[in-house]
Chains A and B, each alone.
Chain A
Amino acid sequence: MAIFNLQKREIECKIVYYGPGRCGKTTNLDYIYNKFKKQVQGEMVSINTEGDRTLFFDFLPIGIGKIKGCEVKVQLFTVPGQVQYSSTRKLVLKGVDGVVFVADSLEVRREKNLLSLKDLQQNLKEYGLSISKIPLVLQYNKRDLADEGLPIMSIEQMEKDLNRQLKVPSFPGAAIKGDGVGKTLQECLKLTLINLQKELKWAD
């Protein structure tokens, strides 16, 4: 639910990082906070629980400058991935304009990815949104763990599991080193802004 302020010619939209517990959502935001200093417009707020797991959300406000004479502000959020926090997950998703789904490449997390994607679809539906229409980008995270000898899924396998029907842009990533973080966000922003432009008939 982007907010368009005509007087200030400013638009504010919301992008949510979704995905199973421990897949690296917070790590994505940490990297953005530390490395994209020019865009960051405030502190990153993390509300965590035991073991650095997200309890409510992470929040990071960024600005991406002017587009067609309009200042674009973006609120980045992560949801808590742990299964038991489903009501908070849904709350955080409210008013979302674009989604980054972070999937864990570890083989042992295959089913968790699927369940989380299903959960995303369900929660979007409850807000009257459709997973096949909302601007969505996938990130296959933790690719680096293959070097440590841990079994990870091939990109083909993950595409088949998660992206066969959706057919949305997807990126391999290793958020801990920053690999793929910028590209994923950039693509999600692009899709989100195109969508908003259509919806709000902005810049006509």
Chain B
Amino acid sequence: MVETVPTATNSPNVQLHQVGKPLIRTDAPNKAYGNTLYAGDLTMPGMLYAKVFRADRPSALIVKVDTARARALEGVRCVLTAWDLPDRLVVTDIPGQTGGKTKNTAQPILAKERVRFFNEPIALIAADSEEIAASARDLIEVEYAPFPGVFDRAEALTAGAPLVDGDANVVAAYKIRKGDTERGFEEADLVIENSFRTQVQEQAFLEPEAGLAWMDDKNVLNIKVSTQVVEHFRAIADALGIPHNRVHIEAMYVGGGFGGKEGLTIEMMLALLAYNTRKPVRLILTREESFVNHGNRHPFTLHYRSGVKKDGRITAMEVRLIADSGAYSKLSPYVLLYATVGAPGPYKVDNLKVDSVVAATNNLSTCAFRGFGTMQACVAYEGQMDEIAKSLGLTPLEVRQKNFIHTGDRNATGQKIESAVWSEQCAIQALEALGERAKGNDVVKIGRGLACYQQSYGRIRWFKDSSEAWVGIEVDGTVIVRCAVTDIGAGQSSSLAQIAAEVLGVPMEKVVTYFGDCTLNPLAGTSSASRALYMTGNATKMAATKVRDNLLEWAGRHFQVPPDDLQLVEFRVTAISDPARSMPIDELARRCAADGVHRHHLAMFKAPTSEGLDPETGQGEVFPDFTYGAHACEVAVDTETGEVTVLKSVGAHDVGQSLNPQSVAGQIEGSALMGQGFALCEEIIQRNGVLVTPSFSEYLIPTSEDVPETKAIILESRSGLGPFGSKGMGEPAFAPVAASIANAVADAIGVRIFELPITSEKVINALARKASGQVKMH
């Protein structure tokens, strides 16, 4: 169910014809009919099948890898180990950026001297059939020698802990020093201190990693793959030692990414095998392989100390964060930065101290995942808000209203918030939408939870992010958008079609978006960081506007009216002052072509930049802008069994401007369920680094039978930096969900569970603690 609330706008005169309408997405029909080909559907004549041999332990020295028997097996075409690869094989640390690399993120493609995490890849195999490749994998023998590992993030930071790599297990650390926390705590009437813990979450996208690679007759290495980032072509070329223009990556429609396909997925493995065999090679990971192949969500320990006045105003906040990066740092420094900057949430905290660190361990790697550090902080700061409210006898909404950050205020790093901040409206609407409260009884208790958030969209400013797009109009009035954005299921390519259609006045069916191709399309950057629509949408709008200007200039001359008297709608150009002066757009395009008018344009959109943070105070500008909103839910808790049932789940978000309300609702509804999984049942569990939840039998995501009544409320301030004033929505919709469920459970049973996921058993234990008086009362 979707409700759109069009409200005050920055540019009240815009009249949108296609943007903001729930048009049928260009990718939808073929997906619904099963016609869409995904990377794993592709085949080629003479194709080989790949398999990956992985370590069976989390920490060890590799004494010897014996591949002789595997190589000797009939039908095996290639077996590669680290010894077959040149030493320069490392990966970039900032996916999609133009060449950014830091040495501490170097990760071997295949383990050589040491195994640092469970199931680290050791060898690659290509064979005539999948079965032969699998048999060859069984024939590889590795001789290991013991090597101590460290599996606890706090322990990893103690002196004498086994080192994962280099000379320290600190992957990154940040601090924020703002105002005077000592004075702030002195002024406080009450100080509330709590520790929260969040778990490792698996992205669980529908489509596991898959791809097909081959060398073509131009000696170009082609890779069709399921990825969020086509710009990895550079890292692959560097690794192979071939020029960048000889690696051509095409991202197919992707069956979900959520950050799990932001780092290299399997492109490098495919590249190495195809390059070495000169044959097409296909690799499709099983679900179990997928679990260990990409980095999951960082687990965090979050310690919060908040000082408040009796009226609920926060006077000081002290935060300590410890995250676990697993064996290789990947994007950990950035995830930690997001958590650090996001630590106070959507609240104005003038006296703030944050210390954060991310530790290397021999656990599975963690990396990008929707919410990217910020959502973990949300679980803690929103838990704190409710604990404060409870102690002061305020409602959760009241205590938040006292502290919300507003437009013009400065956030944790001193950055001025320029766009609208509608946290309050969103919170009120979300709570209202819960409607009448369900009835509980002696055993089943009903609770409600609210959570607000601040989530950035767009990349870190000092990445100097940019995006390009090309728009052209054909002489029959059809439009082409070329943009190497990856379409990861959120409707990225469709949104660009909708933007071009709006600007050029053609129906959306007349637009085709060519996407995901790193060579034939202008580069657009990643589909990550809630940046795709913001960045590529702006680039597309700029390019389309230039084409429109060219067409209107010609039409103005033709109709003898100024160009700004002309409108392009419903496939016609028409003079507003004299509607008789009008022609269909195909005729316009044809006549422009005949007169040599430029009918296409390549545009680049550049995000605002900065030069980084002051390392001592953490002050500076980190993100382009932020999205604000709220999630509210109602739960029923069976106090005898501990079962938690989410009854209603409502997301209300200021999206700036919704391009397609159906897609926005899709983000909100999907987030409601993904967040519910994080709150209640999803957990990657490792015992001494060994994964004990290796498949969907043990790792439990919510099923269709767990879906609560869900509602999406869309507010539009039109104040964002994206096209038509839009803001990013991919991550924001997810950010507050788990926190709101945790708050609802605490509301229902009168005691908080500080460690996610909130399983039935934890509920029973918390209730037992409460009954025995072991819970501190404020």
**Is chain B a partner of chain A in the same complex?**
no
